[in-house]
Structure formats: C-alpha cells, structure tokens
Amino acid sequence: MSARMTNPAMVLPEAMKGIGSLTKAMASGGVGNDLLEIVGLRASQINGCSPCVFAHARNLRKAGVDEDKIAAVAVWRHAPYFSDAEVAALKLTEAVTRLADRSDEPVSDELWDEVSKHFDEKQRAALILTISMLNFFNRINTTIQEPAGTEW
C-alpha cells in the first residue's frame, strides 16, 4: 500500500519549519518524552492513524518502555501500568481528541483540576500542544492513507 500523495507537510516545506518550531517548544515543556509518546499513541489509536500508532509504539520500545504498558495504552482505564499523572494526561488526550463526541464541556473543570494537580502551566501547555499536533498529523495521515511504517 502506498499513500495517495506525498505528505502535505513535505509538499509545502514552509509547513515543516512551523512543525519543527512547535516540536521544539513542546519538548521544552518539561513533560517526559515517554509520556508524550504515550499521549501520541493514544490519540493516534482513537483516530485510526496507522503510521502514528506504529511510530509511537516503536519509539516507546526504543525508549525501553515495557511491552505490556505499550500494549495497554488502548485500555489504560483497566490497566495497572499508569501513574496518576499518566492517567490524567490520557484523560485529557481522550477529551481533546473526541471533541465531537461530547454534548457537555469537552474538558470539564474536574478534568482540568485533575490535570493541574500533576502538571504545571508549562507542562500543560506542552501536553495540549502535543495532543493538538498529533490530532493534526492523524488527520493528514488518514486523509492521504499514509501506511504504517512510513518514515518521516
């Protein structure tokens, strides 16, 4: 299987400059890379983005994250592998990713307070930008049918 077209961010090189700047900013937010990868994996699972699911799982393996934990990201609510901070980040990921599935506030005050217990403002900014950017990439990749295993 091949993609319908070259990734739009590659077609328009100026887009990659902006993406690079965002990526650098997110990395400076003080959230551990493993957690950012877990957040990326979960958003990508929800959106059915095969290259992103593949890439985040591979990155987590390379970082030495336990295979059971990686496999349990899709069922994190019923898995013993995640800290309270990771659970809060996963809840936020699902809320932000599933905006259209909600009839009430997508990110409730209760969820915001839970996230704020574990992450300072800079870290929350990094999480929100990461979740948002992953949803951006997921939408691009699913539209052009980018296959799993694609290298960027």
Tell whether 16 is covered by a domain: no
The domain spanning residue 52 has which CATH number? Answer: 1.20.1290.10
Per-residue pLDDT of the chain (152 residues; tens, 9 = 90+): 789 999 998 999 899 999 999 999 999 999 999 999 999 999 999 999 999 999 999 999 999 999 999 999 999 999 999 999 999 999 999 999 999 888 888 899 999 999 999 999 999 999 999 999 999 999 999 999 999 987 76
Tell whether 34 is covered by a domain: yes
Tell whether 19 is covered by a domain: no
Tell whether 21 is covered by a domain: no
Determine the distance from the C-alpha atom of residue 42 to the mean position of all C-alpha atoms in its chain, rounded to a whole number: 6
pTM of the model: 0.94
Number of domains in the chain: 1
| Whole-number Å distance between alpha carbons of 36 and 56 | 9
Tell me what pLDDT residue 152 has: 64
**Cα–Cα distances in Å, from 83 out to 79, 117, 142?**
10, 13, 31
Tell me what pLDDT residue 151 has: 72
Q: Domain range holding 92?
A: 30-138
Tell whether 15 is covered by a domain: no
Tell whether 109 is covered by a domain: yes
Q: For residue 74, give both structure tokens.
A: 């899709």
Tell whether 45 is covered by a domain: yes
